[in-house]
Copies of this chain bind each other. A is one copy, B any other.
Amino acid sequence: MSLETARTEYLNVGDIRFAFRRLGPTVGTPLILLQHFTGTMDSWDPEVVNSLAETRPVIAFNNLGIGTSTGRTPDTVEQMAADAESFVRGLGLSKIDLLGFSLGGMLAQVLAVQHPDLIGKVIIAGAAPRGGEEHLLEVVDDAFSRGAPDVRLPLFFTASEASQRAGRAFVARATARSEGRDPDSGDAVSESQAKAIIGWCARKDEDDATLRAIGQPALIVHGSDDTMFPSINAYNMFKATKDAQLIIYPDSGHGALFQYPARFVAHCRTFLDE
């Protein structure tokens, strides 16, 4: 079973129907994946997800209004985090770990603080703290203006030959699934999510209160040259979080975790297995 072949399942919570996919063993603490701006389950790198699922249960899902999940995408990180929590509780889970990428890494910070009993360990990749530095709209606009075969090539990878090569390999992996593939997100999603991200970064967080309230072990992973959320964000998040490890990869952009999938999975395992 792999991300590309797993059947999409559905869970009803109240009037919302969540689409999700379960991978890996049935025992062990599940790792819940929290996706990036406009991303669906099929935007994850199958190599990362499938490798993680070799040694632990992994659950990808679409939050409200994404893919074939119903509901309307909210325009705050806090509401998205609350929706993610209702999905997790709806599955009957009482202990999970989180891997949040970009926007998902912001949800992970909120969830870790609000639900210390539910959330064990937290991996925050390519994110920014509350009040952090973001260049979302400029970077997205610039990436779309390039006419690249896939907008993630300029958006997630550096201009170097090695990074672009890794980017093309990632795109090939992430577009392999055709059957039962999640529909792409439209403007309703991107507008609400952009508002959420910009609002998260615009609101200063006095003394990094959110990060300082994270009691769980955290792994912060970032690219050296992330144009959307500059890598100094990761260093600052690390400094403010009690029990965080910081890992930054070379010659990499926002999609650093997909540029070095084997390395990233090894680092996740070292962190989660400890």
- A interface residues, Cβ below 8 angstroms from B: 224, 235, 238-239, 241-251, 262-263, 266-267, 270, 274
Given contacts A235-B235, A238-B250, A243-B251, 15 further A-B contacts (CB under 8 A): A224-B238, A241-B250, A242-B250, A243-B250, A244-B250, A245-B248, A245-B249, A245-B250, A246-B246, A246-B247, A247-B247, A263-B270, A266-B266, A266-B270, A267-B270
Task: List the B side residues contacting A245 at CB < 8 Å.
Answer: 247-250, 263
Q: Which of B224, B251, B262, B274 contacts A262 (CB 8 A)?
A: B274
Please name 28 pairs of A and B residues whose Cβ atoms are closer than 8 Å in the assembled complex, sorted by A. A224-B238, A224-B239, A235-B235, A238-B248, A238-B250, A241-B250, A242-B250, A242-B251, A243-B250, A243-B251, A244-B250, A245-B247, A245-B248, A245-B249, A245-B250, A245-B263, A246-B246, A246-B247, A246-B248, A247-B247, A262-B274, A263-B270, A263-B274, A266-B266, A266-B270, A267-B267, A267-B270, A270-B270
Q: Closest CB of chain B to A21's CB: distance in Å?
A: 27
With A and B bound together, what is the CA distance between A235 and B241 in angstroms? 17
Specify which of A238, A243, A248, A263 lies most central, judged by the most chain B CB atoms within 10 Å of its CB: A248
Task: List the B side residues contacting A241 at CB < 8 Å.
Answer: 250
Q: Closest CB of chain B to A54's CB: distance in Å?
A: 16
Task: List the B side residues contacting A239 at CB < 8 Å.
Answer: 224
Q: Closest CB of chain B to A239's CB: distance in Å?
A: 7
Closest to A225 in B: B239
Closest to A266 in B: B270
With A and B bound together, what is the CA distance between A243 and B241 in angstroms? 26
With A and B bound together, what is the CA distance between A274 and B249 in angstroms? 14
Task: List the B side residues contacting A249 at CB < 8 Å.
Answer: 245
Closest to A271 in B: B263
Closest to A273 in B: B266
With A and B bound together, what is the CA distance between A193 and B248 in angstroms? 31
Smallest CB-CB A-B distances: 9 pairs: A266-B270, A246-B248, A243-B250, A247-B247, A235-B235, A244-B250, A245-B249, A238-B248, A245-B250
With A and B bound together, what is the CA distance between A242 and B263 in angstroms? 17
Closest to A267 in B: B270
With A and B bound together, what is the CA distance between A247 and B263 in angstroms? 13
Q: Closest CB of chain B to A235's CB: distance in Å?
A: 5
Task: List the B side residues contacting A238 at CB < 8 Å.
Answer: 224, 248, 250
With A and B bound together, what is the CA distance between A266 and B245 in angstroms? 14
With A and B bound together, what is the CA distance between A183 and B248 in angstroms? 39
Q: Closest CB of chain B to A265's CB: distance in Å?
A: 10
Q: Closest CB of chain B to A198's CB: distance in Å?
A: 26
